[in-house]
Amino acid sequence: MKRRTYTLDIPEIKQIPNFMKVLDDLSSGNNVFLVGSAGTGKTTLGEKVAYALFGRTENDKKALPFVVVNCNQWTSPIDIKGGQTISGYKEGALIEAWRDGKILILDEMPKLDANTAGLLNDALAKSSKPEAIIFNGLNEPIVKHHDFGCIATGNVIGKGASGNYVGNNKQDASLLDRFSGCIYRIGFNEVLERQLVYAPVADICIKIRKAILAYEGKEIGDDDTEDIMTLRTMLNMERAYELEMKRATGLKDEHGKPYRKVPNGKTLKDALESYFMVMNEDKANKIKLEVNLEGFLNSYKGVIMMNEFKTEYKKRLG
């Protein structure tokens, strides 16, 4: 195990219980698999872990400490190990991370064709072996850097089909075995959501999620829902809310000019209506009643809430 000085001064350390476990796994040479619903922040967590692992801070203007493979049915051996293209030889992401000591992030790994995913087996079996050798697309030996690590993410583990995530493939047991004992469920995290999202937006979104779960007859922590309300969705809502409130309160931009109201500008109400538009109509109507959406929409731009927004916005600016 390589001794490291982690960067631990980030909110996620306390809000995500498995953060330190993931850091310890990578330092020990274990491959990590983060599993959870779309929008729960798995890839973002992987990136934050990479920075923390190397004692760095985000946006430090240095080379990224990770390489991402956006896995899908068209991901090819060239993307992973490298090979010839019409414009010349292209190095694969696995080789770059292996050689340069970066974290390989396999984003949505179960979407890989199982045969293509098999190209990872040799390397992932050697993640903890000092100076292990694999071969790139030119059949050249590449020596493993001691800082190499791998984080995979997925909506499902890869053992079979999912009703909500139909683009995933069943993966070979030999691949999943490379992550054995280091698979973590990344689900809803209300503490983190409330840390990152303005209170009114977090409140209504969490109420909606609870109403969805109740409607579908699922437990509070179940993230395998037909209609999802995740951190990503909340942040989409928040951006509309922040812009709307800046205009409503006349706050100034970075150039000192006040935000002004514009006809038909995007609002939090628009964002929520868009969210419910893709939901079954009967389900949407029942959930709106359950959370008293009309009452929320009639109150979130009141004087008290606008003053609270200004205080929070200025606090975020530091």
Indicate whether this model's pTM tops 0.85: no
Terminal C-alpha separation, the chain = 38
Place of tokens 């150039």: 255
HEC string of 25-79?
Answer: HHHHCCCEEEECCCCCCHHHHHHHHHHHHCCCCCCCCCCCCEEEEECCCCCCHHH
pLDDT digits (tens, 9 = 90+) for 33-92: 999 888 888 898 899 899 999 999 888 889 999 999 999 999 999 999 999 999 999 999
- Rg of the chain over CA atoms, in angstroms? 22
pLDDT digits (tens, 9 = 90+) for 247-273: 999 998 888 899 998 889 999 999 999
**Mean of the per-residue pLDDT values for the chain?**
90
Distance CA 300, CA 283 (A): 24
Question: Any idea where the domains of the chain sit in the sequence?
Answer: 12-185, 190-317
pLDDT bracket for residue 309 (50, 70, 90): very high
pLDDT digits (tens, 9 = 90+) for 147-172: 999 999 998 887 765 556 666 788 88
pLDDT mean over 99-124: 95
pLDDT mean over 99-110: 96
Whether the pLDDT of residue 16 is over 90: the answer is no
Res 81: pLDDT: 96
* Residue 127 vs residue 4, higher pLDDT: 127
SS3 (DSSP) at 22: helix
Res 74: pLDDT: 93
Distance CA 7, CA 13 (A): 10
* Count of all residues that appear for the chain in the document: 318
pLDDT digits (tens, 9 = 90+) for 108-120: 999 999 999 999 9
Quote the strand ranges of 99-215, DSSP E.
Answer: 103-107, 133-135, 141-143, 149-154, 183-185
HEC string of 242-301?
Answer: HHHHHHHHCCECCCCCECCCCCCCCCHHHHHHHHHHCCCHHHHHHHHHHCCHHHHHCCCC
Q: Which two tokens stand for residue 122?
A: 């040799």
Distance CA 110, CA 106 (A): 9
52 near 60, Cβ under 8 Å? no
Element (H, E) at 90: strand 88-91
User: Which amino acid does the sequence have at 189?
Assistant: N
The closest of 12, 27, 261, 243 to 147, measured between CA atoms, is 27
Distance CA 95, CA 98 (A): 5
310: number of Cβ within 10 Å: 15
- Name the CATH topology of 12-185: Rossmann fold (3.40.50)
CA distances for 270 relative to 5, 30, 102, 235, angstroms: 45, 45, 41, 14
pLDDT digits (tens, 9 = 90+) for 174-226: 999 999 999 998 888 888 888 889 999 999 999 999 999 999 988 877 777 78
Whether the pLDDT of residue 1 is over 50: the answer is no
Residue 32 CA, distance from chain mean position: 15
